[in-house]
Amino acid sequence: MPWKDMLERYRLALLGIILVTGALLRLAFLGEISLRADTLLFWNLCQSASITAGDLLTRWTQFNTDQPPLPLVLTKWMIDGLGLPVTFFTIRLPSALLGIACIPVLYWAGRKSEGTGMGLLLAALIALAPFHIQMSMEAYYYSGLIFGSVLLFAAFLDAATWNRQGRRPGAWFYVFYTAGFAFMVHSQFTGWPLAFLLSGSIILLAMVEWKKKKLSTDHLYAIAAILVAQGVLLLLVPWGPRYILAKTSSPQKEIGQQVAEMTGETEWSMLHRVFASFGFGGTGLRAILTLGILAIGVVVLIRQRDRWMRNGLIGLMIAGSFVAFFVTRQSIGAMYESRYVAGLLPVVLLILAYGLLPGGGSLSRKWSLAAAPVALLLLSYPAWLSATLSGQPTPYLKVTHYMDEHLAPGTPVLVDRWFEPWNELAAHPSSNAVYTFTYPNEPVDQFRQINWRKTAIDFLTRNPDAGYLEVAKSYWEVADIGSWEWPREFFRHQIAFTNDAGLKLRNLQLAARGDFYADNTNRLVVEFFYNTRDDVLTQWREQGREFGLWYGEGWRFEKSGPMGTRVQTRDFRDWRMMSSQATLEVVNLTREPVQALLRVRGLALNGDKQLVGASRFSKGFKNGELTVWQMGPITLAPEATTPVNLRDAGQTGAAVLLVDAVDVVRAP
């Protein structure tokens, strides 16, 4: 049986296999990937019971989403409407379903355009596309954008066959045309140029058919009316052109431009990364295969003289999308990333498909029979890697799991990027670690101004039980800042949490986002530095100290500041908090008994607080008033640790004690 006849006979079974494979890749591990900063927007808004899907449309300006709301509205509507719990799986589920839906749509478009073989190949290419799998597993806007581009591109391919196949627009054309444009322009601003290029191309094809009297005026008017109606709607919604104009003058633009400049990326590096990540990779033989198949596909399109208009419009779409991005990039401060032209994915996949199924003579048929299976096989491994990522790219869940197993409750962990403790890590909370920062250290000018590394050293030496979590290796890539070796010298232990699948995708140049490619593999490899108590005791002895102190049971680290903290103060400060009772563990490093005084500096919060220490000393702390309590004398045994218990003298309700510092000195 000829292979074309076999494909035709078993097309539905083959499509089913492709669809199930694509669905499993997008759903099987959907809840096991750590969230990334951008997607916390979906996470936080979906958890709010007071916000409805309708609110996200009618009160869009209040939520600072910075993107059109359609994917977020769909996510909120599905979770609330079905009564689903808000989990890492459920907030990504709508994106994954939109990604899966792209598979049969591209099959439909390919089969309409070139037959069953092309339809199945396009379906398989997008089912296994690493870029598409990664975007489909994010609770963010790009899956909706790509779904829209697949629908609208399918409508375009259908329109291009009307004359050749003697057909008129059918119901599916109008569905794809209408929904595709809506998803593109209401999912992501970067989809606008391609949405108008695709819609304009469809209208042009329709006008040509109408001029030849092969398309009725009713169809032409219907196609034009749909575009006009959607354009008018776009002018009326708050995320329309007015918002874009305002955004170009936003202060965030300058910050974005600074970040883009530090990455060292250019237009040429972006072009390389786009075609590598949309194809088979950008290293070694994978790069050669990607370029070779793209080149064959372009040649095939050029040689299709009976489809010169369609293929010319495809070239215009690609060129126009890149030009539009490069022109607008400076005005919005965007970085050079593949995701900003994500709508081009189905266009590039079509060119790859033509390169794998060029048609023509016996040589072309033999090439197709060999090349297509090999290409799909090459995609299968990175497709699996994309499905099994532990982070996008940071493996926060790995970090949290380790902290919960190995740290004592309330242990402070300083993070190198100040946003992380109250943003990304707040969505991956640890029962034991208390993630914190010293001062805001972004952008780079702020990092320099506060001398952030000195603030970190001061914090870590004042808090010997604290660990240091290096997530972003902040500004290592900046020439006058460079790498930071101090933690590697100060701490005796370190452990790396690696996003193994992400690291492999980076090496293949098949990762979907730019931060997978950052210097020093930051975010893909997160390092945690810590000292044991024995390590700290050794350091204290080497420093010639007489005394040391640990905060024992009952204490919790607390950060206060003017923003983003539970306790509000005018500046950023570090505290240890106790409620009803806690223990101070005082270490005598000398070889003789010592009479010592403890100077506890702190304040009461939520009311006055009366404390008893070591069962015989007492002190009252006024609400909000910084007070020093000199407790003692207390006898400290030689080379030993003496516990000093603190407790409430009576009922103090919700009042807690915040301790700024505890000093141990010899009694006179």
303 pLDDT above the threshold of 50: yes
**Residue 51 structure tokens:** 């916000």
The band of 492, judged by pLDDT with boundaries at 50, 70 and 90, is very high
Please report the beta strands in 474-626, taking only residues with DSSP state E, as ranges in sequence order. 493-498, 525-530, 547-551, 556-561, 567-568, 573-578, 581-588, 594-605, 609-613, 617-621
**Residue 443 structure tokens:** 């952008």
Burial class of residue 534, CB neighbours in 10 A (0-12, 13-18, 19+): exposed
- Across the chain, which distance is largest between two alpha carbons, in Å? 107
**Residue 415 structure tokens:** 């993070």
DSSP H helices in 357-451: 362-387, 396-406, 444-449
DSSP summary character for residue 522: B
pLDDT of amino acid 19: 98
How far, in Å, CA of 361 to CA of 346, rounded? 27
- CA 267, distance to chain mean position in Å, is 23
Residues 6+ apart with CB under 8 A from 235: 241
DSSP H helices in 237-283: 241-247, 251-263, 267-278
pLDDT of amino acid 167: 74
The band of 266, judged by pLDDT with boundaries at 50, 70 and 90, is confident
**Residue 361 structure tokens:** 């003579």
C-alpha gyration radius of the chain: 31
Question: Sheet harboring 594-605: ordered strands across?
Answer: 567-568, 556-561, 573-578, 656-666, 594-605, 627-636
Domain definitions of the chain by residue range: 27-387, 396-531, 542-666
The sign of the torsion formed by the CA atoms of 209, 214, 217, 221 equals negative
Please state the rounded mean pLDDT for residues 316-324: 94
How far, in Å, CA of 226 to CA of 229, rounded? 5
Tell me the β-bridge partners of 643.
585
- Candidate from 115-119, 158-162, 454-458, 652-656 with smallest mean pLDDT: 652-656
Contact 139, 91 (CB under 8 A): yes
Measured CA to CA in angstroms, residue 551 lies from 74, 565, 611, 614 at distances of: 48, 22, 16, 15
Please state the rounded mean pLDDT for residues 390-407: 96
How far, in Å, CA of 358 to CA of 103, rounded? 21
Q: In which residue are the tokens 């930071």 written?
A: 484
Q: In which residue are the tokens 């883009």 written?
A: 260
Type of residue numbered 382? P
260 pLDDT above the threshold of 80: no
CATH superfamily name and code, 542-666: Galactose-binding domain-like (2.60.120.260)
pLDDT of amino acid 154: 98
The band of 264, judged by pLDDT with boundaries at 50, 70 and 90, is low
Structure confidence by residue, pLDDT tens digits, 328-385: 876 666 778 899 999 999 999 999 999 998 764 444 566 667 888 999 999 999 999 9
Please state the rounded mean pLDDT for residues 488-501: 97
pLDDT of amino acid 307: 86
pLDDT of amino acid 46: 95
- Which residue would you say has higher pLDDT here, 410 or 97? 97
pTM to 2 decimal places: 0.92
**171-185 and 217-236 helices cross at what angle (nearest 10)?**
20
Tell me the β-bridge partners of 628.
601
How far, in Å, CA of 578 to CA of 162, rounded? 75
